[in-house]
Structure 1
Amino acid sequence: MDITQKIAALASRAQEQIDHIVNEEATKNAMVMPFIQSLGYDVFNPTEVLPEFTADVGLKKGEKVDYAIKNEGVLSILIECKPRTTDLANAQFSQLYRYFNCTEAKFAILTNGIEYRFYSDLDDANKLDTRPFFTFRLTDYNERDIEELKKFAKPVFNVDTILSTANRLKYTNLAMTSFSKLMKEPPRDFIKFIAQDFFDGRMTQQVLDEFTPIIRDAMAQHIKEQVSQRLKLALATTSGEESSPIIAQPGQDNIEVPLKAEDEIVTTQEEIDGYNMVRAIVASEVAPERVYMRDAKSYCAILLDDNNRKPICRLHFNSKTLKRLEIRQDDQQVKHDLATLTDIFSHSEALLAAVKSYE
């Protein structure tokens, strides 16, 4: 299994075991050690993963950090664990801070088994940052998170590669958090800035109070319309011969697709919906009419230019209990389990990458 599959399996197991993980030791054994293993490190090899790593720090003697990871004999990552129920936003990690300052490790992780906060010294050399540059949540992650996590895997681990994008990643995540907060609670100055573009009256507190819910709703509606527009592009009419893929027409909610008795292939509404979601996602890179659907017995293929040599993905929707999305990644076909059909959108980056590889 690759990292994507290992993390998915660990996330699934976490959901089943979470109520039984009640202290720090259980967190380490059930969550943290498997997480380290998923990155390709041997947790039973003390030359690679050192539990209870000890170092004398100034006047502090015999302090320990939960795990230290070595890459090619070089101390690279320090990990401090907290019980699963710990809110990491309010957690103290003084030991991690002191250890980072006096060792050659360039990365530190603070975790409660579910959430993993990655730190470095981006703000001040040899001094651990107070804010993480990357946060991975086992119960809530997307394709972009997996791609960032892969950089820490043993086979590809490279300090310079990670640091080259860490600063941008840090501020991108902070900007996303700020934008989310702005959407929920837009500040007075922001409301005033927007409102003065269309309101000529005096900006009293009463006026600002009246415009606050209006502008908040307008922002939410704008985002919804942008998503809707991409879906409409994907649903655009495409002409073709009888052998062309089945495509939903604008305004149609369902399509009657007859069973082909000669080969027992039936195209379901879920496959059509999945196809249209993929078209919507890749519409920013290629014209929707270049994306084709070709159904088969065991899967439904989505191709660029109706070319078998340009597969974008495959929909494995024939099972009643499990749906999977198979995407071409690094010249391999990687399968992703889908809890719901809309989970396809969480793999947008991989789908776009597949399309870009042909352009």
Structure 2
Amino acid sequence: MELQNQLKALAEKVIKLKEQIDTEESTKHAFVLPFINLLGYDTFNPTEVVPEFTADLGLKKGEKVDYAIFQHDVPIIIIECKNWKEKLNAHNSQLFRYFHTTKTRFALLTNGIEYQFFTDLESANKMDEKPFLEFDITQLKENVVNEIAKFHKTNFNVDEIVDNASSLKYTKEIKKLIGEELQAPTYDFVRLFASRIYTGRLTEKVMGEFTDLVSKAFIQTISEKVNDRLNSALHKEAEKQQEEDKEPEKVSKVDTTEEEMDGYRIVVAILRRKLSVDRIVHRDTQSYFGILLDDNNRKPLCRLHLNGGNKYLGTFDQHKEETRHPIETVDDIYQFEELLLQTVDYYED
């Protein structure tokens, strides 16, 4: 999650500043070095991130690649940078020439916005012509962030990345082909379906009709799949909401007794001299039977403690401090008429 937030922040910086960046050198400092840094490599440590890395190429001396990232004194990634306005072209890159002269298995070509990671899947020690990982930092998806994380200093494992690189590379190429076929189906692609469905001769006219049909069918299929996924997600969300809305019935542990109700009626009979009956509300709990003014917890009139071995009437002073008075039966509540009426005055003044 931290890497994802860092990449998002860098992407926002790229979008904000790119129009003010005019040179390749500025692109390196503003966009590329921060990317290297968020991968956990110390860009101020010349033994870890080496600028202007030189590897002699036979008789050709002095050519340099912009950066090399080192671990344990061995280059693990070589990087070539371009101005953010330039298109990336691996065929013109020095990375091809440098790749086989170093011990690295990975090369990165970038303009600070687009990133292309290469390895040697097709021929050992020779950089592939096509990248196995390619992305625009301003349009990152979660699955790509997961792949970038594998290059982080704390995660870096050559064998694991190379093993996964093949899958990434060919999946990317397949997706690209599918996209092209959806946009403009080729003859062979259309024939694949038409030959399985149409029993007659596949004339030019028939193939023309099927080209349109295959294109529509694929678009509809994708649309239906998307709608199914959305409807499924919405359905699950609705079910989840319904489950949350269904509060399980709580079995009340409070048992209001007839004796408590008799006591309540006595209190009402006393207090109705100053209060209307509808303002005198009872609320039973496991610990006591409370009687409140206006059903307000902050306005207790009295409490009945009748469920224990001893019975009490609890009255309140102006500070809402309770005093318990022992009683034999609820009829003894009448003895505390003056205290009960006085309690009303605390709230009515």
TM-score (norm 2): 0.66
Aligned to 2:110: 111
SS of the residue 2:50 aligns to: strand
Distance between the aligned counterparts of 2:146 and 2:109, measured in 1?
19
- Is the CA contact (8 Å cut-off) linking 2:120 and 2:126 kept in structure 1? yes
Q: Deviations over 1:1-24 (max 9, x none)?
A: 821111000011111112222321
SS of the residue 1:36 aligns to: helix
Offset of residue 236 of structure 1: 3.5
- Is the CA contact (8 Å cut-off) linking 2:190 and 2:211 kept in structure 1? yes
After alignment, is 15-24 or 218-227 more displaced? 15-24
Letter in 2 for 1:41: Y
Aligned to 2:5: 5
**C-alpha spacing 1:32/1:246, structure 2 compared with 1 (3 Å):** farther
Distance between the aligned counterparts of 2:233 and 2:144, measured in 1?
26
Aligned to 1:122: 121
Gaps of 5+ in 2: 247-349
Aligned to 1:183: 182
The percentage of counterpart residues that share the same residue type is 45
Alignment of 1:262-341 (within 5 A): none
Q: Deviations over 1:318-351 (max 9, x none)?
A: xxxxxxxxxxxxxxxxxxxxxxxxxxxxxxxxxx
SS of the residue 1:228 aligns to: helix
Alignment of 1:60-139 (within 5 A): 60-89=60-89, 92-93=92-93, 95-139=94-138
Offset of residue 242 of structure 1: 9.8
Q: Deviations over 1:278-300 (max 9, x none)?
A: xxxxxxxxxxxxxxxxxxxxxxx
**C-alpha spacing 1:50/1:241, structure 2 compared with 1 (3 Å):** closer
SS of the residue 2:55 aligns to: strand
Q: What is the RMSD computed on CA atoms of the aligned residues?
A: 2.3
Distance between the aligned counterparts of 1:150 and 1:191, measured in 2?
40
Q: Deviations over 1:20-73 (max 9, x none)?
A: 223211211111111111101111110110111112111111111000001232
Offset of residue 231 of structure 1: 2.4
Letter in 2 for 1:6: Q
Distance between the aligned counterparts of 1:8 and 1:155, measured in 2?
20
**C-alpha spacing 1:141/1:241, structure 2 compared with 1 (3 Å):** closer
Offset of residue 215 of structure 1: 1.4
Letter in 1 for 2:35: F
Distance between the aligned counterparts of 1:43 and 1:236, measured in 2?
49
Distance between the aligned counterparts of 1:63 and 1:28, measured in 2?
18
- Is the CA contact (8 Å cut-off) linking 2:77 and 2:104 kept in structure 1? yes
Letter in 2 for 1:62: G
Letter in 2 for 1:73: D
Distance between the aligned counterparts of 2:64 and 2:238, measured in 1?
67
Aligned to 2:162: 163
- Is the CA contact (8 Å cut-off) linking 2:69 and 2:76 kept in structure 1? yes
Aligned to 1:39: 39
Letter in 1 for 2:138: T
Aligned to 2:260: none
Letter in 2 for 1:45: N
SS of the residue 2:22 aligns to: coil
- Is 1:226 aligned with 2:218? no
Distance between the aligned counterparts of 1:160 and 1:97, measured in 2?
21
**C-alpha spacing 1:245/1:124, structure 2 compared with 1 (3 Å):** same
Gaps of 5+ in 1: 248-359
Distance between the aligned counterparts of 2:120 and 2:90, measured in 1?
20
Aligned to 1:55: 55
SS of the residue 1:245 aligns to: helix
Aligned to 1:23: 23
Letter in 1 for 2:19: D
Aligned to 1:147: 146
After alignment, is 146-155 or 54-63 more displaced? 54-63
TM-score (norm 1): 0.64
Q: Deviations over 1:56-98 (max 9, x none)?
A: 11111111100000123221100001111222147611x2112
- Is the CA contact (8 Å cut-off) linking 2:90 and 2:129 kept in structure 1? no
Distance between the aligned counterparts of 2:74 and 2:64, measured in 1?
18
Whichever of the two has the greater Rg, that structure is 2
Offset of residue 244 of structure 1: 3.1
Distance between the aligned counterparts of 2:188 and 2:141, measured in 1?
33
Report which of the two has the higher share of helix: 2
**C-alpha spacing 1:225/1:113, structure 2 compared with 1 (3 Å):** same
Aligned to 2:210: 211
Letter in 1 for 2:176: T
Letter in 2 for 1:22: D
**C-alpha spacing 1:246/1:225, structure 2 compared with 1 (3 Å):** farther
Aligned to 1:357: none
Offset of residue 141 of structure 1: 1.8
Aligned to 1:267: none
SS of the residue 1:110 aligns to: strand
